[in-house]
Structure 1
Amino acid sequence: MIQHSPTHFSTVQTEEACIMKLPPLLTVVEAVAFRALCRELIEAEPAPKKIVLDFAETMFIDSSAIGALVRCLKACQAHQIELVLHSVKPEILSVLVLADLDRHFTIEAKAVELEPPASPTITPTHPSIQSRTKRALDIVGAIVGLGITALVFVPIAIAIKLDSPGSILFSQTRCGHLGRRFQVWKFRSMVSDAEQLKAQVENQNEGAFFKNANDPRITRVGRFLRKTSLDELPQFWNVLHGEMSLVGTRPPLPEEVEHYEIPSWQRLDVKPGITGEWQVHGRSKIRNFEEVIELDLRYQQRWSLKYDLQLLLKTIVVLLNKDSAF
């Protein structure tokens, strides 16, 4: 069993670089300390020309560590400091590959280590990630959901087209497990140039997510689709594809993740879901990002297959409640 490591990082300064030895376990506590040390090194006078992160002893990293590494990389690039990952074990490399980050980092290691295993054994960031039963439930639910989508597709498509010009479906980049980006699909509920008009709309929420109860970009049909959550039916394709789950956390936008503090990255330890704590506990009434984080972390702590089923049932009840603002 891996023990939680201290937050002290040993560093060695040479003429060529500053070498930082990373601990066996790199999760939220260590990630916060690591981020602070990186900031100190980068802002030092004189700053090192190269920072080497020694992963020789590191056996596990989670989303918080991914967030800290991304922050460190961007800071180094901004100050023209070379950042190198050294002695990266295959299981750590597999996590970087899974997060689609391996091509963004310079990795110094033996050639055999640079090739991810054909069937990598990755210590999951959360038990739900390795649950075959949860995945089976997702597949069955996605097939049923896509069947429903096929039945209502034509009338919804006609309504969208008659209401406003533009495409029927809307695709948007979101961040999933470990921050990996994917395209989420919805029925279009806004005007076709909604993204360009976003800067003109006031954000009524606090923190790293956007919401306006009376968003002028939403069409008449779009308000009905959102009220009934019919706009989210195409996301069953994301569930079938494995990018999302029936139940999980809210999938954030990349620009939201850019503003995350390191501990907030923990919400990316699980797959995002079509529904979850946030959706069944009054998402339209939540205005503070910290409340979203609390709900997402509560889901991770309480997770079980039984709890997923409970949230699915609660979702159905919320949708059937005509006064709901789901």
Structure 2
Amino acid sequence: MLLITVGTEQYQFNALMQWIDILIKYQLVNNEEIVVQYGSSNYLPDGARAYRFLSEQEFLSFVDRASLIVSHCDESIAELLEDQENPYVLVPRLQRFREHIDNRQMEVAEDFERRGVAIARSPGDLVKFLKLQQTSDITPQVDETDLCEYLKARYPSQKLMLISSSGGYFRYMQSMKPFWQKFSDRCWISIRTAITEKQIEDDHRYWGYIPVKDNLPNMFRNLLLAIKVVPKQKPDLVFCTGSGFAIPYLLVAKWICHSKIVYVESKTRLHTLGLPAWLLMKLNVLDLLVVRSREIANLHPKSVYIPVHDISQDSTSLRDYKQALIVTFDEVAFIYSPERLEFSTAREFLSDFQTICNPDEFYKKIIIDMSHTTFMDGAGLGALTNCLRFAKLNKTELVLWSVSEAVSSLISLSSLSNLFIIEPNTNTFRFSHLIQENRVSNITPFGLFLFRTQRLLKKIPVLRIFYPILKFCFPSVDIDPGVPVHPSVRDPLKRLIDIIGALIGLSFTAILFAPIAIAILMESKGNVLFGQVRCGLLSRPFKIWKFRSMVQNAEQLKMKVENQVSASTANAQGSEQSNSANDKFFKNADDPRVTRIGKFLRKTSLDEFPQFWNVLIGDMSLVGTRPPTFNEINSYELEVEYQDERYTEWNRLDVRPGITGVWQVNGRSSVRSFAEVVNYDIEYRKNWSIWYDLQLIVKTVLVIFDKNNKAV
């Protein structure tokens, strides 16, 4: 039996319920009875036995029968489950999905995970636990000797009051027993549970009320109890281990009894103070604030930093479930993509995927779980595209799970977006703090500001008219700032140069349009302009414009023309690579389809003047890579390496294509190898700067006026 429990919190946990629904939908828990205690959630898995709340006796009876328990990441539930022998997995709640008041459960999850507790941040993680049956197996060992010794030296024996909520807060208090047990005259204020009743043996103990979040009656009841109990006990020292529950008791102790207040912030608070600690500090209630994180201590100099020594952290062993890259079921296979799906990992990932697509085994579905992938470049997009090809050859459906916003944005911008199936209900996964930090490091403040601004403009009808202006100035404004495009794409100075250059170029185009159009129409029938769909940034399709230099039915006649790229490659490398080159690159110095006026236009590069319109609207740049056709990218490979094995053909797509570039000033049409073109494009990618662009523009002008420029 699979037991799902989310406690009695007032926050819904629909994401977890949807994860369980997906496991059922994909028939991954077919033979398991599923029992759900859903609390405040309003989405229930189809086919599960559901209970809103369970009594302690009912809950324990289900626990005894469960083969796996899945719960929210709460210290009290973890304490309860640790006393059981059943395997369990915890899932942290997130504020962004309205599952909790804040994201503290993520900090708790990271602390638990360091100690060996199984944490699921995505439905793909749950799949691993179901298959591998590897879950929590720990005995938490936290040594609080340093803190206790510090407190003993600072506070002599006196009347003590201990204030602690239940669950993790109470457990935290118990870990500091070497300090407070020396006080013979002490009293307790806590929450009545089976555990607190059993472990608090002192005669003077009082039970408060929870929850207090958005619960005015309980806040008022705690205040009344504080006014009744604290002046009666008159403690000299009040020792508290956190939570908003303690606030009224601490205020009464300070303002009425003038007690000294010691507040120990939770050891799972790693980056910011909790609201109760912050509020009490601002009200000058605390005599001592102990924090367990160096980062928080740096933010609050008046606090005292005493680190936690977790004995379990001394272990260097890693959990096997984190290392599993492939998990298979009868008809479904899972493969987990790396954190950075780029040139250095894409080939290895593709190789692992191919092992699933072997003829001896057949799966109806192959699922790529991307819950840890925050960075994907052109090579990563190429890896996914090749995975799709292999899956189709094997007649297997390929599905993507837990796709981040940045990766989803990259896929949606590409011409391949309609080919991928993405399971939307898996996109409520939770990045660890380390992965989140790595993701944020790729985002510039200016890029983030522009992205948020364009989103805001789209949402507000009155301001929507300004969106086209912003889009014109910054064509990449709608690209998620986490998408790793080349720096030139988002550079405002480069865009300014493009706009100025495009306006100048279009002025010349307007002057030359009439005579060129007359010359074209006098020689052959057809349109003056020729439009062809090319791949732009991240393979986004756009129509490139040129003055027509060929006969009207040139595309139909292409098969009759020899590809000199193919011929030259065939002589050197054999027919198989010849066919590959033919798919990627087509050139013929004596192409019979080119008209006489067309040869003149190509020689002088006048045929490319209409492309200044593409530059003005942001599809292209003045300087960039060569804009590939879709035939080219359909035959791109990850195995072919360029420039010291750091780039593949797919990396060309990270840069906005240009009218000119390195290939234009290094032989132009005399280039007969696709590898040369890619190397030129990657050379531009590596050496780009504004000064480099200006140099290439000047060189391009010089090449155009060179009568030996070899343009055809």
Q: What is the TM-score with the length of structure 1 in the denominator?
A: 0.92
Q: Could you say what secondary structure the match of 1:290 adopts?
A: helix
Matched to 1:91, the amino acid is: A
* CA displacement 1:163-200 (0-9 Å, x = unmatched): 11111000111111112221111000000000000000
Instruction: Between 206-215 and 8-17, report the one with greater CA deviation.
Output: 8-17
Partner of 2:693 in structure 1? 308
* CA displacement 1:85-136 (0-9 Å, x = unmatched): 10011111111122143332111133877xx983532333211111111111
Matched to 1:87, the amino acid is: S
Given the alignment of the two structures, is residue 49 of structure 1 paired with residue 364 of structure 2, yes or no? Answer: yes
Within the candidate set 163, 171, 184, 2:531 is matched to: 171
Partner of 2:246 in structure 1? none
Q: Could you say what secondary structure the match of 2:531 adopts?
A: strand
Within the candidate set 122, 136, 139, 2:496 is matched to: 136
Given the alignment of the two structures, is residue 15 of structure 1 paired with residue 300 of structure 2, yes or no? Answer: no
Matched to 2:618, the amino acid is: G
Given the alignment of the two structures, is residue 238 of structure 1 paired with residue 614 of structure 2, yes or no? Answer: yes
Partner of 1:4 in structure 2? none
Partner of 1:106 in structure 2? 421
| RMSD over equivalenced CA pairs, Å | 1.8
The answer on whether the counterparts of 1:9 and 1:34 sit within 8 Å (CA) in structure 2 is: no
The answer on whether the counterparts of 2:407 and 2:483 sit within 8 Å (CA) in structure 1 is: no
The answer on whether the counterparts of 1:143 and 1:240 sit within 8 Å (CA) in structure 2 is: yes
The 5-angstrom pairing of residues 89-168 of structure 1 reads 89-110=404-425, 118=455, 120-168=480-528
Given the alignment of the two structures, is residue 210 of structure 1 paired with residue 570 of structure 2, yes or no? Answer: no
Cα distance change on mapping 1:111 and 1:102 into 2, 3 Å: farther
Q: What is the TM-score with the length of structure 2 in the denominator?
A: 0.43
Distance 1:259 1:42 in 2: 20
Within the candidate set 376, 379, 394, 1:79 is matched to: 394
Instruction: Between 177-186 and 273-282, report the one with greater CA deviation.
Output: 177-186
Any stretches of 5+ residues in structure 2 without a counterpart? Answer: 1-322, 429-450, 456-477, 570-580, 639-647
Deviation of 1:149 after TM superposition, in Å, equals: 0.7
Distance 2:485 2:682 in 1: 13
The 5-angstrom pairing of residues 245-260 of structure 1 reads 245-260=621-636
Instruction: Between 271-280 and 101-110, report the one with greater CA deviation.
Output: 101-110
Given the alignment of the two structures, is residue 290 of structure 1 paired with residue 666 of structure 2, yes or no? Answer: no
Distance 1:159 1:122 in 2: 48
Within the candidate set 185, 195, 209, 2:545 is matched to: 185
Q: Could you say what secondary structure the match of 1:43 adopts?
A: coil
* CA displacement 1:230-265 (0-9 Å, x = unmatched): 000111111112111100111111111122112211
The answer on whether the counterparts of 2:536 and 2:657 sit within 8 Å (CA) in structure 1 is: yes
The answer on whether the counterparts of 1:249 and 1:275 sit within 8 Å (CA) in structure 2 is: yes
Aligned length: 317
Deviation of 1:9 after TM superposition, in Å, equals: 7.4
Partner of 1:265 in structure 2? 650
Matched to 2:654, the amino acid is: D
Deviation of 1:35 after TM superposition, in Å, equals: 2.1
* CA displacement 1:19-44 (0-9 Å, x = unmatched): 11111101112111222222232124
Any stretches of 5+ residues in structure 1 without a counterpart? Answer: 1-7
Partner of 2:136 in structure 1? none
The answer on whether the counterparts of 2:376 and 2:484 sit within 8 Å (CA) in structure 1 is: no
* CA displacement 1:244-298 (0-9 Å, x = unmatched): 1100111111111122112211111101110000000012222111111111111
The 5-angstrom pairing of residues 60-75 of structure 1 reads 60-75=375-390
Q: Could you say what secondary structure the match of 2:398 adopts?
A: strand
Distance 1:16 1:46 in 2: 10
Within the candidate set 554, 560, 565, 1:200 is matched to: 560
Deviation of 1:325 after TM superposition, in Å, equals: 2.0
Partner of 2:703 in structure 1? 318
Ranked by relative contact order (alpha carbons within 8 Å, sequence separation 6 or more), the top structure is 1
* CA displacement 1:2-57 (0-9 Å, x = unmatched): xxxxxx97111122411111111011121112222222321241122211111100
Larger radius of gyration: 2
